[in-house]
């Protein structure tokens, strides 16, 4: 090969390299006065789908959320972390970044700016996914079928969250408490009606981070000489001695109403409260309200039982004599 041909070949190679290098610089250099948007390649799109990024870019981040930060093209800077109680996350090179109460778009923009301003990455492209969104949930506890955290995106009301938790159990009380995260002293106490469909005034708004606590109804027991001894649910003090006796089917003919008593558990032990149930029945004494856990004991009268047995025996003997007289 002649010297002239070698020179032409070398110049061609040099020109090709220079043009390739120039095109790379042009692609990386933003045009003056125009905000450059980083291109999203097919591999980046696939990565976005595989990481399960939130479709709602306006979703708010909050304390406790587990997020994944991906810096495309710089895998060493990508990380998965949980937002601390102070609302911060730690990222390589740029230290702590406060992201609580920011949307995913806002947090991405903040991290991109920190990376670029620090000279760590040129034209960074950051995407954030939320693996566990604790901050955007409402926790339902107590007497519901499926206690636990439930998503609270969009407008939510108390009955929506109770329904999402499977509804009330058969042991649920009517007292409901709503606690707001960050304001432990601020709580809402509600007393639901027996028919939630007609209780619109208590169907209040709930917000992400709230905790709903459904109380458990108390139980009182009616035992002794009554028709149907059993336990009955009670809400606060709206069940009295007479109502409890009625639920138990009433007294029997051998009940000793004058010696009825309430057995109540106190910090000092069992307290006995005597009740003259006969006077209460005849409105000669006030009815008494029962408390959760009370036991209403209606004793039997041995004298009445003996008298009835004697009467029954006499009745049986008289019936036998009559039969013998008719059929000697």
CATH assignment at residue 52:
3.30.1950.10
One domain, residues 272 and 300: yes
Q: Let me know if residue 36 belongs to a domain.
A: no
First to last CA, the chain: 154
CA distance 205 to 148: 18
Q: Let me know if residue 315 belongs to a domain.
A: no
Cα distances from 18 to residues 11, 15, 27, in angstroms, run 10, 5, 14
One domain, residues 249 and 200: no
One domain, residues 226 and 295: yes
Q: Let me know if residue 311 belongs to a domain.
A: no
Residue 147, helix vs strand vs coil:
coil
Q: DSSP label at 67? A: E
CA distance 219 to 292: 6
One domain, residues 63 and 114: yes
As for how many domains the chain has, the answer is: 3
CATH of the domain at 158: 3.10.560.10
From 190, 240, 197, 249, select the one nearest 220 (Cα to Cα).
240
CA distance 229 to 250: 10
Domain limit, last residue, from 132, 162, 179: 132
CA distance 114 to 29: 19
One domain, residues 46 and 117: yes
Predicted TM-score (pTM) of this structure: 0.54
Domain limit, last residue, from 103, 132, 161: 132
Residue 262, helix vs strand vs coil:
strand
One domain, residues 227 and 207: no
Q: Are strands 137-142 and 172-180 parallel, antiparallel or unpaired?
A: unpaired
Q: Let me know if residue 269 belongs to a domain.
A: yes
CA distance 16 to 319: 130
One domain, residues 249 and 279: yes
CA distance 145 to 161: 12
From 78, 81, 102, select the one nearest 90 (Cα to Cα).
81
Count other C-beta atoms under 10 Å from residue 195's C-beta. Answer: 7
Which are the contacts of 5, defined by CB distance < 8 A and separation ≥ 6? none
**Domain region containing 49:** 42-132
One domain, residues 128 and 47: yes
One domain, residues 164 and 188: yes
Q: Let me know if residue 245 belongs to a domain.
A: yes
Domain limit, last residue, from 184, 201, 216: 216
Question: Which two structure tokens, joined as six digits, stand for 240?
Answer: 């009295």
Alpha helices (H) in 29-58, listed in sequence order: 42-51
Give pLDDT, residue 296: 93
One domain, residues 122 and 143: no
Do residues 227 and 250 make contact, with C-beta atoms less than 8 angstroms apart?
yes
One domain, residues 109 and 143: no
CA distance 27 to 104: 27
pLDDT tens-place values along the chain, 328 residues long: 555 555 545 555 444 444 444 434 333 444 333 333 344 444 444 444 444 344 445 667 888 888 899 999 888 888 899 988 888 999 988 889 999 888 889 999 999 999 999 888 889 999 998 887 777 788 999 999 999 988 876 778 899 899 999 998 888 888 899 998 767 677 888 888 877 777 788 888 888 888 999 988 888 999 998 999 988 888 655 788 999 999 999 888 888 888 999 999 888 889 999 999 889 988 899 998 888 889 999 998 876 666 566 655 556 645 655 555 555 5
Q: DSSP label at 168? A: B
One domain, residues 280 and 297: yes
């Amino acid at each position: 090969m002649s010297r002239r041909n070698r020179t032409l070949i070398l110049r061609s190679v040099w020109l090709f390299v220079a043009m390739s290098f120039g095109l790379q610089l042009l692609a990386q250099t933003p045009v003056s006065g125009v905000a450059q948007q980083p291109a999203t390649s097919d591999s980046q799109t696939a990565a976005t789908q595989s990481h399960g990024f939130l479709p709602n870019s306006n979703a708010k981040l909050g304390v406790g959320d587990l997020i994944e930060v991906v810096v495309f093209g710089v895998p060493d800077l990508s990380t998965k972390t949980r937002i601390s109680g102070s609302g911060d996350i730690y990222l390589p090179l740029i230290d702590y970044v406060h992201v609580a109460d920011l949307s995913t778009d806002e947090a991405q923009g903040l991290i991109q700016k920190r990376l670029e301003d620090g000279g760590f990455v040129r034209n960074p492209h950051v995407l954030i996914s939320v693996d566990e969104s604790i901050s955007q949930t409402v926790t339902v506890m107590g007497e519901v079928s499926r206690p636990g955290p439930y998503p609270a995106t969009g407008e939510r009301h108390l009955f929506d969250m109770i329904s999402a938790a499977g509804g009330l159990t058969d042991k649920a009380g009517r007292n409901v408490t709503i606690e707001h995260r960050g304001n432990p002293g601020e709580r809402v106490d509600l007393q639901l009606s027996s028919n939630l469909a007609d209780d619109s005034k208590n169907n209040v708004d709930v917000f992400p981070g709230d905790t709903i606590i459904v109380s458990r109804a108390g139980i009182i027991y009616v035992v002794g000489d009554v028709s149907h001894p059993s336990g009955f649910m009670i809400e606060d003090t709206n069940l009295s001695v007479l109502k409890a006796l009625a639920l138990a089917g009433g007294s029997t003919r051998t009940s000793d109403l004058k010696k009825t008593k309430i057995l109540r558990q106190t910090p000092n032990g069992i307290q006995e409260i005597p009740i003259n149930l006969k006077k209460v029945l005849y409105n000669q004494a006030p009815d008494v309200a029962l408390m959760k856990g009370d036991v209403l004991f209606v004793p039997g009268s041995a004298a009445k039982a003996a008298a009835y047995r004697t009467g029954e025996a006499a009745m049986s003997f008289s019936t036998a004599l009559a039969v013998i007289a008719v059929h000697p």
